[in-house]
Chains A and B, each alone.
Chain A
Amino acid sequence: AQSVSQHNHHVILSEAASLELGCNYSYGGTVNLFWYVQYPGQHLQLLLKYFSGDPLVKGIKGFEAEFIKSKFSFNLRKPSVQWSDTAEYFCAVNDMRFGAGTRLTVKP
């Protein structure tokens, strides 16, 4: 069965700090990988996705993620976070299996 693990439940950073949120999945077949974001009071929305090709994927608002097949990982990164990045981030595999989410709090 497919499963997704997000190891960080709550991350607290100061503005301008670098961010890396971990995501590992277990699935033996072809995977499509997604990161979704839920800003306070807003709908869940797609941040970025990987389906094939370049394993380094760039998304909206300066986020990127790297697919490392040998590690079954799809970690989300941003070099310098802003207060407006405060949100909950969800990793998903094959559009129906989600991780538990990571709450990011950015302190101004």
Chain B
Amino acid sequence: DGGITQSPKYLFRKEGQNVTLSCEQNLNHDAMYWYRQDPGQGLRLIYYSQIVNDFQKGDIAEGYSVSREKKESFPLTVTSAQKNPTAFYLCASSIERDSTYEQYFGPGTRLTVT
């Protein structure tokens, strides 16, 4: 059963701690993405990676870091430098189809930092 898995579904951390969110896909997609979803703001791009060992900053990369050591995995670290980390985080991967890229999304991780 192919898809994108994100774990855990809910994550709680104390302020000042770094936390890593997992994203794994078995769709054999080259590109992967991290978004943050806040009420009334839609999805905002944090980082994306089009190929292994390469990634680019999105619109709101400050306070986040990523790695792409394997095609299947694209973990996101929320660092203590992120001023407002409490949010719903979505991971996606994409495949080229009809000269465009269609994204497939994971179930998301809701991070609460207190």
Option from A9, A32, A49, A98 in Cβ contact (under 8 Å) with B43? A98
Say whether A51 contacts B33, CB under 8 Å. no
User: Is B1 interfacial (CB-CB < 8 Å)?
Assistant: no
Per-residue interface assignment for chain A, residues 2 to 20, with 1 indicating a CB less than 8 Å from any chain B CB and 0 otherwise: 0010100100000000000
The total number of A-B Cβ pairs within 8 Å is: 52
- Contacting residues, chain B, for A95 (C-beta < 8 A): 94, 100-103
User: Is A26 interfacial (CB-CB < 8 Å)?
Assistant: no
Q: Report A78 CB to chain B, min CB distance, Å.
A: 21
User: How many residues of chain A get a CB closer than 8 Å to chain B's CBs?
Assistant: 22
Q: Report B42 CB to chain A, min CB distance, Å.
A: 4
- Contacting residues, chain B, for A97 (C-beta < 8 A): 45
Per-residue interface assignment for chain A, residues 32 to 68, with 1 indicating a CB less than 8 Å from any chain B CB and 0 otherwise: 1010100000011110010110000000000000000
**What is the interface of chain B, defined by CB distance below 8 A to chain A?**
33, 35, 40-45, 48, 58, 90, 92, 94, 98-103, 105-108
A and B contact pairs by CB, cutoff 8 A, 22 listed? A4-B42, A9-B40, A32-B100, A32-B101, A34-B103, A43-B105, A43-B106, A44-B103, A44-B105, A49-B98, A51-B98, A51-B99, A90-B42, A96-B45, A96-B58, A98-B42, A98-B43, A100-B40, A100-B42, A101-B40, A101-B42, A101-B43
